[in-house]
Copies of this chain bind each other. A is one copy, B any other.
Amino acid sequence: MLALSRLATGQRLSPASSSNHRRWRAREMVAREGDRPEFLLVITQGWAARVRMLRDGIRQITALYIPGDVCELFWLEESPIAQPIVALSELRGTAVPAAEIRQRTRQETPLRNAILREAQWTAEARSEWLANLARRDSTSRIAHLFCELLARQRAAGLASGNCCDLPLTQHDLADLAGITPIHTNRTLQSLRAEGLIELRGKRLRILDIDRLIAIAGFDERYLFPPDAPRTAEIILSTASEEMADAAA
């Protein structure tokens, strides 16, 4: 929900030469709190989440990464990782060394601009979620989540019509919406009973998108900066190969 960089529709990316592929199993930790980040991860398959653990074992998901997203733009900074990342499903991605991007940042103005813009929209999306979680009931929260997930997967070329993946358990949904898994279940049932959604086997179909948007108070604008540069694309672009060649 909160990660914004994404690729053009369905596009394949050629990884930079110094990048390499990685994979994790579901529930595996991708990054721990306090770690020094050395790579930015461009997700190619599967979903991951940024998690805030609270004292009593409750976890709140504060960002969601889907294919095409850059997992943790802010790992460019030297500071230790603030919140852990965990794989929600089988996960694959391309790791791009942060040092390499930092290096390129000194030369390439478009990259610099793309990063700051990306940072802005990350923050904007979070403040939208903040309002969503603070002020809406469970039905609106889940509806808002579904609206966002469809919109993002559409933008990434991963949705067909009003149908998209949802590789999450009800427990994951609960951690996103800030409610109990049990209440999540009841909320989903009421959405189904209202004829708003279908949800079977990790696939989500939205039956009445207009009504769902109304219930959610969803405003698509916060997701997509006008004339957005595609951060993941820029990060993976050929310039990094030149850098690697120069370094060799």
Residues of A within 8 A of B (CB): 2, 50, 52, 54-55, 58, 60, 62-63, 74, 76-77, 79, 82-83, 106, 109, 112, 115-117, 119-120, 122-124, 126-131, 133-135, 177-178, 217, 221-222, 225-226
Q: A131 near B54 (CB under 8 angstroms)?
A: yes
A120–B74 alpha-carbon span in the complex (Å)? 6
A55–B144 alpha-carbon span in the complex (Å)? 14
CB-contact partner of A130 in B74, B112, B116, B129, under 8 A: B129
Q: Which residues of chain B are near A55, meaning CB under 8 Å?
A: 217
Cβ distance A60 to chain B, nearest Cβ, rounded Å: 4
Apart from A54-B135, A79-B120, A130-B133, 16 more pairs, CB < 8 Å: A50-B127, A52-B128, A52-B131, A60-B130, A60-B131, A63-B127, A74-B120, A77-B116, A77-B117, A82-B124, A82-B221, A112-B112, A119-B123, A123-B126, A126-B130, A129-B130
Q: Which residues of chain B are near A50, meaning CB under 8 Å?
A: 127
17 A-B pairs with C-beta separation under 8 A: A52-B128, A52-B131, A54-B135, A60-B135, A62-B127, A62-B130, A79-B226, A83-B127, A106-B109, A112-B112, A115-B116, A119-B119, A123-B123, A123-B126, A133-B133, A133-B178, A134-B134
